[in-house]
Structure 1
Amino acid sequence: MAQKPKRTKSGSAWMHEHVTDAYVKKAQQEGFRSRAAYKLLEIDKRDHLLHPGMTVVDLGAAPGSWCQVAVQKMKRQGRVLAIDLLPVAPLPGAEVLQGDFTEPETLAWLEKNLQTARVDLVLSDMAPNMSGVVLRDQARHYELCGLALDFAVDWLKPDGALLVKVFQGTGFDDFRNAMRRAFAQVVIRKPEASRDRSSEVYLLGRRPVKLEPVACADAS
């Protein structure tokens, strides 16, 4: 018989914080899949990102709370394309692929679904599996952010926007500067739903400076 793993003090503290978290309770009451919904809701209330009829791409979508917000705010008038390594339970109004955004096959799925249509909003809540080595984890995280930025620059409409989760620390200034080169406006957002102890913030870039031609998807 396998021995039951012992609960660590840090694990117990996290569980206590989670089950007593006001946003966790609110998400359960209002039917959102995670407390992260309120981060996007707060940013959208301030910056008016989501409107009916938009095309939205959600990178790092699991468990799907940002998709829920997008579908709700767009009144199911538009498209939401979502990707994550982890499975996302079916959500009416969203097209979801379980896949790795770093792999060509996943990008090909997006391109095939978009055809030549440009995107209004790219959301990126991607984060790597943490190794516990801070510098390595930061570097891997900003690699993902860079991929999201590249995709946004290639596919956004002239008035489009990219909202991307970042962590303050090594790599932050370089990535923010890359965002500033790519967008006419870049601002930092720290939603109240983000825990105070977290270095997590969101960078919002609006109006891509340079738009690359969109290649037609391979019909095969």
Structure 2
Amino acid sequence: MKQKSGIPAQRLESVTVKKTRGKTTAQQKWLARQLNDPYVVAAKKQGWRSRASFKLIELNDRYGLIKKGMSVVDLGAAPGGWSQVALKEKAGKVVGIDLLEVEPVPGAEIIQGDFTDPEMVDRLKQMIDGFADIVLSDMAPNTTGHAATDHLRIMDLAEQALIFAAEILKEGGSFVAKVFQGGSEKRMLHMLKTGFSVVKHAKPPASRKESSELYVIATGFRPERMKPVLEEIQNSL
């Protein structure tokens, strides 16, 4: 099987899941999807915490986001897969933050806490000895099943991540965040294009086709141009 950066190039032979007493239809479908997902299988073989690691690997292969010696902040770090990728790309310092407890990631520092805590930015600056080169966010709120509501909730979370990133990124830094398609991501892109020199969006191959998720990739942070954008976001919250 030909691979790039360890990424599966083709589907595995289909695995059929037998009906099991006590499991709901939804649970059976989830198990079947996991067993037939080449990214899940590859993640286990290669030691990644989850299949989501491949999303960052694919984005990094395409855009060259993480370079040797960089300071990386990983928002919503659980279970730790994106921090693992940053370390494999030889980032200098990697700090992950999550509300959940995260199993230690060798080489990274993980904080259990809320990134919106007013004291968090100063705490991280001390940990990375200054400003970050890149802020990564694979965060998503728990879904309700109502597409419009879920879209608004993840866009609110992404904007909160952008506020945080603007306070901790060094000039020229980068920001990557998960969003859902649905209309208001255009507002997010407008704000990013003001505060960053280059803004793109992408759906990596590891992102399931049925998922509405995509990622915004913003590079070339411009602090002075970002100030009015921050005021716009904060006034709308």
In the alignment, structure 1 residue 100 sits paired with structure 2 residue 141? no
Number of residues of Structure 1 aligned to a counterpart in Structure 2: 206
| Residue type of the alignment partner of 1:119 | A
Change (3 A) 1:104 1:154: closer
SS for the counterpart of 2:60 is helix
Change (3 A) 1:166 1:128: same
SS for the counterpart of 2:33 is helix
- In structure 1, list runs of 5 or more residues that go unmatched: 214-220
Q: Say whether the 8 Å CA contact 1:135–1:170 is kept in structure 2.
A: no
In the alignment, structure 1 residue 200 sits paired with structure 2 residue 213? yes
Partner Cα separation in structure 2 for residue 43 and residue 193 of structure 1: 10
- Offset at residue 47 of structure 1 (A): 0.9
Give deviations 1:13-45, integer Å, cap 9, x for gaps.
122101221000000000001011111111111
Partner Cα separation in structure 1 for residue 162 and residue 25 of structure 2: 38
| Residue type of the alignment partner of 1:54 | M
The higher relative CO (CA closer than 8 Å, separation ≥ 6) is in 1
Partner Cα separation in structure 2 for residue 171 and residue 179 of structure 1: 13
Aligned to 1:80: 94
Aligned to 1:121: 134
Q: Say whether the 8 Å CA contact 2:121–2:167 is kept in structure 1.
A: no
- Offset at residue 132 of structure 1 (A): 3.2
| Residue type of the alignment partner of 2:186 | D
Corresponding residue to 1:147 among 157, 160, 173: 160
Partner Cα separation in structure 1 for residue 176 and residue 158 of structure 2: 10
Q: Say whether the 8 Å CA contact 1:164–1:203 is kept in structure 2.
A: yes
Aligned to 2:69: 53
- Offset at residue 170 of structure 1 (A): 4.0
Aligned to 2:34: 18
The more displaced of 82-91 and 105-114 is 105-114
Partner Cα separation in structure 2 for residue 72 and residue 20 of structure 1: 26
Structure 1 segment 35-46 matched on structure 2, within 5 A? 35-46=51-62
Aligned to 1:190: 203
Q: Say whether the 8 Å CA contact 2:115–2:164 is kept in structure 1.
A: no
Corresponding residue to 1:161 among 164, 174, 184: 174
SS for the counterpart of 1:104 is coil
**Identical columns (%):** 42
- Offset at residue 55 of structure 1 (A): 0.3
| Residue type of the alignment partner of 1:43 | L
Partner Cα separation in structure 2 for residue 23 and residue 29 of structure 1: 10
Q: Say whether the 8 Å CA contact 2:73–2:134 is kept in structure 1.
A: yes
Corresponding residue to 2:81 among 62, 65, 81: 65
- Offset at residue 65 of structure 1 (A): 0.5
SS for the counterpart of 1:53 is coil
SS for the counterpart of 2:83 is helix
| Residue type of the alignment partner of 1:41 | I
The more displaced of 185-194 and 8-17 is 8-17
